[in-house]
Each structure stands twice: as structure tokens, then as C-alpha cells.
RNA sequence: GGUGGGUUGGCGGAGAGGUUACGCACCGGAUUGCAAAUCCGUGAAGACCGGUUCGAUUCCGGUACCCACCUCCA
């Protein structure tokens, strides 16, 4: 079984061969902790979580090291502290915990290491000194800058040349730069901003150096995979490569570069600078409030996986709802055939050699993997006409249900946790929140039943139509009538039926 | 202006040079007093123009349009 991954560096899909199968190493750029994570921030977390699970499956759980950083020194954080009057440490600690909570709600495993930038300042300083010593960086006016002309391959990842970039540059060039594209490794800090002593005076690191320093410290000079959003390709990743390759020329830095496409809202990238974002927490709260769903996280997770990671994905809420419906269906039909809990060995076997796994092996084709689950689930729904032997029929179903269970679990969904997405479950929560209207609804249901017995269908239908307007759905069956509340239930509309 | 990616049925979204993707919605049927729910089933596509080929939605070229990056951003 070979994993194929699209490598931005070579612009090709390649067979993935780790440097050391005993220790497969992956670094993913994490968040700057100054605000709640928006849905766009969640995309790489989910994408690389799936990759992490795939790598663990292929190489063994103990043979994969996944590092994702927290950027806790940044001018946006400083600005947030200044405007709120709160200490920086308080803001970053709070936001870090928010991030972990929200990503856990999405079912993402925690990486093996989650280094904070401020804990690696000495390593950054050492790396900058190395770069100066090797002639790749220079100090000027309290800053230290990387000299892009000293690294011939600068621009290779993003497919640009220094000349092109200068021509298209839209930023003012600082006077102390030798080349307009030179970027900051270290900058001076006034007394009111976070700063650390360094050979160049009290200062703080530039944006890119932290990832280079932390990746080197935790994963070494050469490691397997480096991931992040494609908006980081330039300048962030380009600069990381330049710094790391120049400071440690004997290493390759990252061999495979992976970039996820952006999450969109109405055809535009969701981003904080455009202001068209909503946070993961917003969604979690909204679904709890309107639907009575405790954790819509799995539906968000599925939505993010329903598009290939190198394609854009739209975040409109109706899509999240559709994803929740799909998960509820998966749960319902699998639960109906109630497979025994699977042992680890069984899970492994059910995943190996499956079309489901083949889809994921092919550059993480999650939409194709999902359709494999769909196909299995629809087998669970079908009762073949010629099932003369009910026992063998049930055995078949249980076998299929086991497979579905294994596959769903592999994608990072907690099977039992999907129950709360099923209407039968969230109905109860909605109802319990509207207990005061129970009696009224029950009486109307009873009245309708009597009207039907008397063949007074006009009255019966009037009640039903009124229910529909208010957001109450009624279902008649041989065992009687049941009713359900729809999201957005409006009890005031029931008044007209009295 | 430079660089990269994309355009598939009403919507979401894949694979494969020739055989049903799949899901949702729609429509038809069963069921129901009528509905809802459920079950069964049929339709429906490949931006445009050329080329290669026995045959292309799939490969190649061009055109149009969309998105992203080149400024903090996942």
C-alpha cells in the first residue's frame, strides 16, 4: 500500500516514501492565537488530521510524529492586548485553549507536539546567528534581515522569481533592506512590547523564523511533510525553506509540501481581513440553540472532507446541515444492524484492501472515500427480494455494518457521538426546551384524531396546516400519531388553532 | 502585470479514453381520507472552439469566465 501525495514543490502526485518509516515526521503551521478560530482555520486541521490518521495506519501509531505550532508572539496579538488592556499571556493562553476545544469538537486528534513560539526564542536566535555567520543574513538598524539573493532557489516553491516579485510588489520597501524582497528575521521591540535580549538588542522574531526553528528542534534537519493553507505558500513557506536550507545546508528541510485550498463563503475566501468569517464556536452554539444538537462538529468535519483538500469548499450553512443529515443516516442504518464493537485488529483488516482506503491513499481523496461509505450504507437499507434465508441476510448486513463502522471511525468520527445528529435524538432536546407548549400540542393532536374519526377532515387538515406553519410535524402511523418540532419552532402560530 | 488552480446534471461532488459514480433535491409509483415519514423507481451533466483517436466529459492546444497568491491570513 503506497500513499500518493501531491507535492507542491514538484507539482506532481508522488509516491510517499518516508525518510525513516520508524519515525514519519510532519509539521503543520498552526494558528496565531489572538481570536477564535474561524471555519477556514479548521480546514487544514481536519485535512492534516486525516493524513495523520492515514500515516498512523500505514506506518503504525507509534511511528508518526505530528507537530503543529501555536504562534503566540505576533503584532496582531500585541494589538489585541493594547485595545483590550489585557495582558498578552492571558490572551494567548485563553485563545490557545479555545482552539484546542473547538478542534476537539471537530474530532481532530491532538498532534504529538504543539510547541509555542515563545518557548523557542533561543533556538530562533541561534538560527539567526547561524544565518549571519554563513552570509545569508545581515543586521541593519536593529533588524536582522534574510538576504534573498544569497539563496539561489528562492521562489522555487511558489514558482516565482525575485525579479517578478519586485515588479509586482505592492508594499513600501524599508530603507534598510538591501533587496526589496529581503524579509525580517528579527526586529527591535520597544519597552511596551514583548521582547527578548539578543545580540542585536531587545527584540522579537519575525513571523517565519519560528516555524523553521521549531521544526528543526523537534523534527530535525530533514523531515517528511510540511503542510498548511495555500495562502502560506508565499511568503511564509518560501521563507521557511530559505532560512532552513541556508542555516542547515546539509538537510533537505521538508521533502513533501502540501497545501490545502481555501474555504469560501459565497465564492470568496473566508478570511479575517475580508471580515466574511464565522467562527467554529458560532456554529457549535447556533446548532445547539436552533436544533438542539449538542455538537455539530462532526457535520462540519464531514463538510470539510466532502471536497478534495486541493479544491475550494463553500461553507454555507445549508451544506453543514446536509452533512449532518448524511451522518445521521449513516448512524441510523448502521445502528439498526448493530455490529459488535470492533477490535483493533478487526478494524485494521476492514480498512486494509478496501476501496475506501484506496481512495484515501490517492492523495487523500476524502470525497471518494465518503462515497464508498454511502454505497455501503445504501446496501444496509436495501432488503433484497430473494432473501429467502433471513439468517444469511442478517449476517450479510452485520458484515456490511462492521465495515461501515470501521470506515466511519477511520475518518475520525465517534460512531456513538453521531446519534445526537439524528432527529430522534435532537427532537427530545428541542421538545424539552419547549415543555410549556406540550399540553397545547397534545390537545390539538387529540382534537385532530377525533376530527378524523368523525370524518371532519376540514378541521383535521386545518390543525395539521397550522402545525406546519408553527413548525410542528405530525406523523400518522398504525400505532397512532407522533409529532416533532422543527428547528425554528414558533409557538405563537399555534394560538390561531385554539 | 507575474504565478498557480479551477469550470461536470437543479445543488454538492468523484473516478475512468468506450461500461450506473455517489448523495441531496425534483419527478413517478407504493402507502395515506389527504398529507408527513418510509420504501421502490425513472430522468438529468461535463464552459466554448479546434486537434489526436474507431471513439473524449476524460489526452493536447486555444478562447471565455471564476478563484487564490504576489500585503497580515489556514
pLDDT in tens, A17-30: 999 999 999 999 99
Q: List the A470 CA – B43 C1' distance (angstroms).
A: 35
Give A482's strand partners: A475
The answer to whether A454 CB sits below 7 Å from nucleic acid chain B is no
Distance CA A138, CA A414 (A): 52
Average pLDDT of the residues in A351-359: 91
- Strand B bases near protein CB (under 7 Å) are 1-6, 12-15, 21-24, 32-37, 39-40, 66-74
* Three-state DSSP state, A240: helix
Domain architecture of chain A: domains with CATH: 18-260 (3.40.50.620), 264-424 (1.10.730), 434-497 (no CATH)
The answer to whether A498 CB sits below 7 Å from nucleic acid chain B is no
Rounded to two decimals, the pTM is 0.94
Share of residues in chain A with pLDDT > 70 (%): 96
**How many C-beta neighbours within 10 Å does residue A495 have?**
10
Grade residue A318 by pLDDT with cuts at 50, 70 and 90.
confident
Name the nucleotide with the smallest C1'–CA separation from A423: B37
Query: Closest Cα to residue A112, out of A220, A218, A226, A224?
Result: A218
Average pLDDT of the residues in A159-167: 82
ipTM: 0.91
pLDDT(A42) > 50: yes
Residue A205 and residue A131 in contact, taking contact as beta carbons nearer than 8 Å: no
Place of cell 445526537: A420
Average pLDDT of the residues in A165-177: 75
**How many C-beta neighbours within 10 Å does residue A163 have?**
10
pLDDT(A387) > 60: no
The answer to whether A13 CB sits below 7 Å from nucleic acid chain B is no
Place of cell 504543539: A114
Among A51-55, A446-450, A494-498, which is the least confidently predicted range?
A494-498
pLDDT(A169) > 80: no
DSSP states of A456-468 as a string? -HHHHHHHHHHHH
pLDDT in tens, A279-312: 999 999 999 988 889 999 999 999 999 999 999 9
CA atoms lying within 13 Å on the CB side of residue A200: 25
Q: Which of residues 163-222 of A touch strand B (CB under 7 A)?
A: 164-165, 167-171, 207
Which pLDDT does position A359 carry in this prediction? 92
Which pLDDT does position A389 carry in this prediction? 47
Which pLDDT does position A486 carry in this prediction? 86
Average pLDDT for chain A: 91
Distance CA A220, CA A237 (A): 17
Average pLDDT of the residues in A46-59: 96
pLDDT(A337) > 70: yes
pLDDT(A388) > 60: no
Grade residue A173 by pLDDT with cuts at 50, 70 and 90.
confident
Query: Closest Cα to residue A320, out of A288, A290, A287?
Result: A287
Name the nucleotide with the smallest C1'–CA separation from A374: B22
Q: List the A312 CA – B6 C1' distance (angstroms).
A: 9
Distance CA A456, CA A283 (A): 44
Question: Which residue is nearest nucleotide B21, judged by alpha carbon to C1' distance?
Answer: A371
Q: Which of residues 318-377 of A touch strand B (CB under 7 A)?
A: 319, 322, 325-326, 329, 362, 365, 367-368, 371, 374-375
Q: Which of residues 225-244 of A touch strand B (CB under 7 A)?
A: 228-236
- In total, chain A counts a number of residues equal to 498
Grade residue A174 by pLDDT with cuts at 50, 70 and 90.
confident
Name the nucleotide with the smallest C1'–CA separation from A170: B71
Q: Which of residues 264-303 of A touch strand B (CB under 7 A)?
A: 264, 267-273
Name the nucleotide with the smallest C1'–CA separation from A265: B67
Q: List the A167 CA – B63 C1' distance (angstroms).
A: 28
- β-pairing, A313-314 with A263-265? parallel
> Between these two residues, A353 and A462, which has the higher pLDDT value?
A462
Task: Read off the C-alpha cell for A463.
Answer: 390543525
Amino acid at each position: 500500500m503506497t500513499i500518493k501525495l501531491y507535492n507542491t514543490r514538484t507539482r506532481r502526485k508522488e509516491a510517499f516514501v518516508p525518510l525513516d518509516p520508524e519515525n514519519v515526521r510532519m509539521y503543520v503551521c498552526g494558528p496565531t492565537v489572538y481570536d477564535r478560530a474561524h471555519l477556514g482555520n479548521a480546514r487544514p486541521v481536519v485535512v492534516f488530521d486525516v493524513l495523520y490518521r492515514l500515516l498512523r495506519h500505514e506506518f503504525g501509531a507509534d511511528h508518526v510524529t505530528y507537530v503543529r505550532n501555536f504562534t503566540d508572539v505576533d503584532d496582531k496579538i500585541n494589538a489585541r492586548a493594547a485595545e483590550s488592556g489585557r495582558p498578552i499571556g492571558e490572551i494567548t493562553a485563553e485563545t490557545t485553549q479555545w482552539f484546542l476545544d473547538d478542534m476537539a469538537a471537530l474530532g481532530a486528534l491532538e498532534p504529538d507536539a504543539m510547541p509555542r513560539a515563545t518557548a523557542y526564542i533561543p533556538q530562533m536566535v541561534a538560527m539567526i546567528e547561524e544565518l549571519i555567520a554563513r552570509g545569508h543574513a545581515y543586521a541593519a538598524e536593529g533588524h536582522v534581515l534574510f538576504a534573498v539573493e544569497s539563496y539561489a532557489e528562492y521562489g522555487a516553491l511558489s514558482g516565482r522569481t525575485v525579479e517578478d516579485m519586485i515588479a509586482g510588489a505592492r508594499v513600501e520597501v524599508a530603507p534598510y533592506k538591501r533587496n526589496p524582497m529581503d524579509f525580517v528575521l528579527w526586529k527591535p521591540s520597544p519597552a511596551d512590547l514583548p521582547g527578548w535580549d539578543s545580540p542585536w538588542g531587545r527584540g522579537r522574531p519575525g513571523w517565519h523564523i519560528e516555524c523553521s526553528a521549531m521544526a528543526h528542534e523537534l523534527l530535525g534537519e530533514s523531515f517528511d511533510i510540511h503542510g498548511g493553507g495555500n495562502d502560506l505558500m508565499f511568503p511564509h513557506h518560501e521563507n521557511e525553506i530559505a532560512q532552513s536550507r541556508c542555516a542547515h545546508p546539509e538537510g533537505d528541510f521538508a521533502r513533501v509540501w502540501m497545501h490545502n485550498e481555501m474555504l469560501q463563503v459565497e465564492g470568496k475566501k473566508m478570511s479575517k481581513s475580508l471580515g466574511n468569517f464565522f467562527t467554529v464556536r458560532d456554529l457549535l452554539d447556533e446548532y445547539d440553540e436552533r436544533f438542539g444538537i449538542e455538537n455539530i462538529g462532526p457535520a462540519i468535519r464531514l463538510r470539510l472532507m466532502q471536497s478534495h483538500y486541493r479544491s475550494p469548499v463553500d461553507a454555507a450553512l445549508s451544506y453543514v446541515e446536509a452533512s449532518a443529515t448524511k451522518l445521521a443516516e449513516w448512524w441510523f442504518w448502521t445502528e439498526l444492524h448493530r455490529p459488535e464493537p470492533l477490535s483493533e485488529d478487526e478494524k485494521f483488516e476492514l480498512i486494509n484492501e478496501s476501496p475506501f482506503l484506496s481512495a484515501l491513499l490517492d492523495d487523500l481523496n476524502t470525497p471518494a472515500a465518503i462515497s464508498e461509505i454511502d454505497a455501503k450504507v445504501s446496501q444496509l437499507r436495501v432488503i433484497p427480494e430473494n432473501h429467502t434465508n433471513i439468517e444469511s441476510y442478517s449476517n450479510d448486513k452485520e458484515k456490511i455494518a462492521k465495515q461501515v463502522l470501521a470506515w466511519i471511525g477511520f475518518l475520525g468520527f465517534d460512531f456513538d457521538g453521531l446519534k445526537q445528529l439524528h432527529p430522534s435524538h435532537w427532537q427530545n432536546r428541542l421538545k424539552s426546551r419547549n415543555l410549556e407548549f406540550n399540553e397545547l400540542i397534545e390537545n390539538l393532536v387529540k382534537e385532530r384524531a377525533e376530527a378524523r374519526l368523525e370524518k371532519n377532515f376540514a378541521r383535521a387538515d386545518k390543525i395539521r396546516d397550522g402545525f406546519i406553519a408553527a413548525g410542528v410535524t405530525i406523523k400518522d402511523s398504525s400505532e397512532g400519531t407522533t409529532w416533532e418540532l422543527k428547528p425554528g419552532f414558533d409557538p405563537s402560530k399555534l394560538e390561531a388553532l385554539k
